[in-house]
Structure 1
Amino acid sequence: MTPTPARPGLARPAAAVNEDIRQLMLRAGGEEEREVYRRLVAEWVLAVRDEVVKAV
């Protein structure tokens, strides 16, 4: 089975996105922070997936 190619335009590694998530969790959790959290987690999932594909 051919691995899925890395997503074009993904600029940040998973570690950078993870750090943004950690910093966000240090702030108060309003609706805006929850939306940012959801976006960052989705970005992190894609970044981790791309890093795993690159390692294969």
Structure 2
Amino acid sequence: MSPNSQPPGLVRPAAVVNAEIRALWTDPRVQLTAEGRAALERLYTEWAAAVRAEVVEAA
């Protein structure tokens, strides 16, 4: 397990994931590699889960 990974079920804050998305794709005019697109898709999925978790906590 890498030092940055979390136990299953824990969701990183949306702001943290958003920062990774922004760092990965600094210029939307530049196409990402296949690996970059795959990483971006994983981050988008994680970001959506984080947003949902934050909404549930707020409720």
Q: TM-score, normalised by structure 2?
A: 0.74
Displacement, 1:38?
0.1
Partner of 1:42: 45
The share of aligned pairs that are identical, in percent, is 51
From 42, 48, 53, the equivalent of 2:56 is 53
Aligned-partner Cα distance in 2 for 1:21–1:10: 19
Q: Which structure's relative contact order is higher, taking Cα pairs within 8 Å and 6+ residues apart?
A: 1
Q: Which structure carries more helix by proportion?
A: 1
Unpaired segments of 5 or more residues in structure 1?
Answer: 1-7
The alignment of Structure 1 onto Structure 2 pairs a total of residues equal to 49
Q: Given that residues 10 and 47 in structure 1 are in contact (C-alpha distance below 8 angstroms), is that contact kept between their aligned partners in structure 2?
A: no
Counterpart AA for 1:42:
T
Q: TM-score, normalised by structure 1?
A: 0.78
Aligned pairs for 1:8-23 (under 5 A) are 9-23=9-23
RMSD over aligned Cα atoms: 1.6
